[in-house]
Amino acid sequence: MELIGYDLRGDAKNRGSYTITYYWKCLQTVPENYGIFVHPARSHDQKVVAWQDHALLGGSYPTYR
């Protein structure tokens, strides 16, 4: 799988909250169901500032399909 892009949107009502939408391209058959691990880090010191681990599409469509 290849990450081909993303959209990042901040929440004006809740400063520091944001939504990221990822766009993936499947390059070949995927034999298993995979999840995504998102750990954004600050550019100046690489300290992880947030994290979220989850299934793609909320688990509604397994990656092996």
Residue 65 resides in a domain: no
In a domain, 29, yes or no: yes
Euclidean distance between CA atoms 11 and 42, whole angstroms: 19
| Residue range of the domain that includes 34 | 2-59
Residue 13 inside a domain? The answer is: yes
Per-residue pLDDT for the chain (65 aa), expressed as one digit of tens each?
A: 898 999 988 876 777 778 888 898 989 988 888 888 888 898 999 999 888 888 877 888 888 87
Q: What is the pLDDT of residue 57?
A: 79
In DSSP terms, 18 is beta-bridged to 10
The pLDDT of residue 15 is 76
What is the predicted pLDDT for the residue at 54?
84
**Structural domains counted in the chain:** 1
Check: CB of residue 37 under 8 Å from CB of residue 3: no
Q: Is 47 within the bounds of a domain? A: yes
- Check: CB of residue 3 under 8 Å from CB of residue 24: yes
